[in-house]
Structure 1
Amino acid sequence: MGAFTRHRSSRLVIANFSGFEADLLRSLASQIVELLRNEAAVPDDSRDPFEAMMDFSGPTSEPEDPVLQRLFPTAYTEDAEAASEFRRFTEGSLRDGKAAAACCIIDTLEEAGLPPELEEDGLMIDVELDEPSAETWMRSFTDIRLALATRLGVEEGDEEVWAALDDEDPRSQAHDIYEWVGWLQETLVEALTR
């Protein structure tokens, strides 16, 4: 069931996912990438690398999507001009970093053997992460959980509301995924601290 553990004889963090679990993780990471890239300007790869690095023409207003608002909160709520400037200088690189982290999950799962279409029953995917990759997965799990919590309207102390939902309710199923990603993140943190 996908819990992360530290390999005894190496510094690798390992997990074993069913094909369904691996495909679900890949889908969640893909949705994060799509969300981040759909509202962002597509970078011009033909530019000089130095020019691209010095380009601070990022967005200046808060995103419309509530998930993106949660992922990129306003830095200066009391000063609209400072908030706009901060967003212009930082949001582009933050988006790139979050998309790259989600792509790390996708690439790792595909390199571990997740086929584009799951046809085999009982397919298991073994994932091995070095510490930098594990930390990247951990950051992406945070983004995935924030996105799910925002879409679902999860609030602190509302566990009883979620427990009362019928198992067939799509919100209950999505909340179960939110909880599962949280559990994965917790096991990953524990594996990294051992």
Structure 2
Amino acid sequence: MPGYFETVPGGGAAVALDPVETSILRSLAVQLLELIGPGDEPVEGEDPLAALFAEGPSEAPADPALARLFPEAYVDPTSDPAAPDKEQLAASSEFRRFTENDLRTRKREDALSVVRNLDALAAAADDEPGLVLKLLPDESRRWLGTLNDLRLTIASRLDITEDDESELLYALPDEDPRKPMVMAYLWLGGLQETLVETLLP
């Protein structure tokens, strides 16, 4: 199972990761956590229930990567950005105010789960190199979310669209400065695809 997920009898998934792959995945997940942000801690003495109903931002993030992670809900992506539909923008703004905080929390928790799984694997590998990462079904879903978020982030940084996922990405010369990120993007895609297959009934 080197490099790709396989189904584990009884549910869950497993993948063999060497120390370099483990380190790369952990670094990417930590960078994703930094991009998403730490989240708002409740003010000391404030009712924690009130924090649950706190409103989030109403405008899309300026960072293109965050804009892909937290897209506009009601705006047609094919519409002219210079002439946006005001009703669609208003609906998206309202939707974002009441959903983005929760979405950020979920993405943060998913990425933290990935980091913890990798840390546990690295600690175990100190005693027994070559161990296989095994995930429970719930952990698999968290990994799937994080792998998707990582690919969206890298695609944004490289200005990759779905139409670019072709032979052009594989054909980049080694001296192209984008090559390492493109290879990570393609590798994450393979992990994501095989992890999806383990979750299918």
CA apart distance, 1:76: 2.7
User: Any stretches of 5+ residues in structure 1 without a counterpart?
Assistant: none
Contact 1:114–1:125 (CA under 8 A) maintained in structure 2: no
3-state SS in 2 of match to 1:106: helix
Change (3 A) 1:147 1:82: same
- CA distance in structure 1 between the aligned counterparts of 2:22 and 2:152, rounded to whole angstroms: 20
| Map of 2:155 onto structure 1 | 149
Query: 1:92 and 2:92 equivalent?
Result: no
What amino acid is aligned across from residue 109 of structure 2 in structure 1? A
8 A contact 2:12–2:198 mirrored in 1: no
Counterpart of 1:104 (choices 103, 113, 117) is 113
Measured in 2, the distance between the counterparts of 1:71 and 1:101 equals: 13
Alignment TM-score, normalising by the size of structure 2: 0.83
The one-letter code matched in structure 1 to 2:53 is M
Structure 2 unpaired stretches of 5+: 76-84
- Structure 1 CA distance for aligned equivalents of residues 34 and 137 of structure 2: 26
In 2, the alpha carbon distance for the partners of 1:130 and 1:95 equals 23
Matches within 5 A, 1:164-175: 164-175=171-182
Amino acid at match of 2:52: M
| Percent identity between the two aligned chains | 37
The answer for the alignment partner of 1:48 in structure 2 is 47
Q: Alpha carbons of 1:123 and 1:45: their partners in 2 closer, same or farther (altered >3 Å)? A: farther
CA contact (8 A) 2:7 2:198 kept: yes
- Count of residues in correspondence between the two structures: 186
1:62/1:69 contact within 8 Å kept: yes
What is the distance in 1 between the residues matched to 2:95 and 2:197? 34
**Cα deviation per residue 1:34-67 (whole Å; 9 max; x = unaligned)?**
00106xx5322643331111222x1111110001
CA contact (8 A) 2:12 2:137 kept: yes
Name the CA distance, whole Å, in 2 between partners of 1:163 and 1:5: 24
Structure 1 stretches of 4+ with a deviation exceeding 6 A read none
- Asked whether the equivalents of residues 11 and 130 of structure 1 are also in contact (C-alpha less than 8 Å), the reply is yes
Q: CA deviation at 1:2?
A: 2.6
Match of 2:90 in 1: 81
Q: Residue 5 of structure 1 aligns with which residue? A: 6
Q: Does 1:35 align with 2:35?
A: yes
Matched to 1:7, the amino acid is V
Say which SS state the counterpart of residue 17 (structure 2) adopts: strand
Amino acid at match of 1:13: A
> SS at the partner of 2:134?
strand
